[in-house]
């Protein structure tokens, strides 16, 4: 199982949205759907899916949280990935434009698709569900990244902390790799010289990008997008909980917020397997066991289904 899995919170559209997304990117599919009941949001559909071989999760759990561009997904259309084409760059451009056309329908353009100093073709948008995407033609001679990279935008009071945050996450995750860092030069006000214009880091099996923006955006990180960390045992759950949780009032059902306001879910690989492979009765008992919890207790979860 992928170590870090992006998790998307929808009102009622998780099934519809995931079916839509899997038509846009190559090597994508819905891998499973389960239903949990008797939650504060009522019945909730949870959908597991893959986009370009990257695992995602989505839930329909009511209108509590809304997507915003503080977290977006940067999609690298690297010509090297289009091995079947005689003209790989042309194939990458065509795939990028096709994805843009689909994602922009009913959505909102944040940066128009065009040529920019950092890419011959790039655009940023929110789709019809509010989820943000940055589509980019990658330079095949540059550093290789996974096709879809979560990107964090540090705004408002958190602006200027993006580089610090990437360093912090590197210190928390046991398998981490530094990436690129580019700072704002002078003359790009309101962005401060020396703050991070763009940087990235690999945490376990996932690259994350981040940047500071001093412009007035009016949004911040929230629970609409969180990152699930799948742990092998209770000791690993305890470790990540201790390192990441910084907002006690946000601790619930394995969810936490770190000191930057980003949401994480610290979960058990064993529990996730039971949820995805178990009977509806097992799913219901697991659900009722974890709803009162803050940090996940694997022993109590196993006891709830008679697997002590």
What is the rounded distance in angstroms from the CA atom of residue 219 to the CA atom of residue 213? Answer: 12
Least confident interval from 14-23, 59-68, 282-291? 282-291
Q: For residues 58 and 17, is the Cβ–Cβ distance under 8 A? A: yes
Q: For residues 75 and 81, is the Cβ–Cβ distance under 8 A? A: no
* Three-class SS of 198-260: EEEEEECCEEEEEEECCCCCCCCCCCCEEEEEEECCHHHHHHHHHHHCCCHHHCECCEEECCC
Given this model, what pLDDT does residue 244 score? Answer: 98
Given this model, what pLDDT does residue 211 score? Answer: 97
What is the rounded distance in angstroms from the CA atom of residue 245 to the CA atom of residue 256? Answer: 5
Residue appearing with tokens 């917020």: 257
pLDDT for residue 102 is more than 90 = yes
What is the rounded distance in angstroms from the CA atom of residue 139 to the CA atom of residue 120? Answer: 9
**Dihedral of alpha carbons 38, 39, 40, 45, sign:** negative
Tell me the domains of the chain and their CATH numbers. 4-63+221-304 (3.10.180.10), 71-212 (3.30.720.110)
Task: Please name the residues in contact with 277: beta carbons below 8 A apart, sequence gap of 6 or more.
Answer: none
What is the rounded distance in angstroms from the CA atom of residue 243 to the CA atom of residue 252? Answer: 16
What confidence tens digit (pLDDT) does each residue in 209-225 have? 999 999 999 999 999 99
What is the rounded distance in angstroms from the CA atom of residue 38 to the CA atom of residue 287? Answer: 8
Tokens of 290: 């974890």
Given this model, what pLDDT does residue 165 score? Answer: 98
Averaged pLDDT, 98-111 = 98
CA distances from 138 to 74, 76, 217 (A): 11, 5, 27
What is the rounded distance in angstroms from the CA atom of residue 208 to the CA atom of residue 74? Answer: 9
pLDDT for residue 125 is more than 80 = yes
Given this model, what pLDDT does residue 278 score? Answer: 84
Report, in angstroms and rounded to the nearest whole number, the Rg of the chain calculated over CA atoms.
20
pTM over 0.85: yes
Helix (H, G, I), strand (E, B) or coil at 283: helix
Averaged pLDDT, 265-280 = 90
What confidence tens digit (pLDDT) does each residue in 230-241 have? 999 999 999 999
pLDDT for residue 188 is more than 70 = yes
């Amino acid at each position: 199982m992928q170590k870090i899995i992006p998790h998307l919170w929808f009102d009622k559209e998780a099934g519809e949205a995931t079916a839509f997304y899997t038509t846009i990117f190559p090597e994508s599919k819905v891998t499973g759907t389960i239903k949990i009941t008797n939650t504060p949001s009522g019945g909730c559909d949870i959908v597991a899916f893959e986009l370009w071989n990257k695992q995602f999760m989505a839930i329909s759990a009511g209108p509590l949280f809304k997507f915003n561009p503080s977290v977006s997904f940067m999609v690298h259309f690297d010509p090297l990935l289009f091995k079947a084409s005689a003209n790989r760059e042309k194939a990458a451009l065509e795939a990028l434009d096709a994805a843009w056309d689909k994602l922009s329908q009913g959505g909102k353009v944040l940066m128009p698709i065009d040529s920019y100093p950092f890419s011959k073709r790039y655009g940023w948008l929110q789709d019809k569900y509010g989820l943000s995407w940055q589509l980019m033609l990658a330079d095949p001679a540059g550093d290789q990244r996974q096709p879809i990279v979560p990107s964090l935008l540090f705004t408002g009071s958190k602006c200027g902390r993006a580089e610090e945050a990437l360093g912090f996450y590197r210190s928390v995750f046991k398998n981490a790799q530094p990436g690129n860092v580019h700072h704002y030069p002078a003359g790009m006000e309101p962005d401060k010289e020396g703050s991070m214009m763009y940087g990235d880091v690999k945490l376990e099996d996932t690259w994350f990008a981040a940047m500071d923006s001093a412009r007035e955006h009016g949004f911040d990180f929230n629970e609409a997008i969180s990152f699930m960390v799948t742990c092998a045992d209770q000791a690993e759950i305890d470790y990540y909980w201790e390192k990441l949780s910084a907002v006690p009032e946000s601790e619930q059902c394995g969810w936490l917020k770190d000191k930057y306001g980003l949401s994480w879910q610290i979960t058990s690989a064993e529990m996730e397997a039971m949820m995805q492979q178990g009977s509806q009765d097992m799913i219901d008992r697991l659900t009722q066991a974890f709803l009162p919890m803050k940090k996940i207790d694997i022993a109590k979860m196993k006891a709830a289904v008679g697997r002590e």
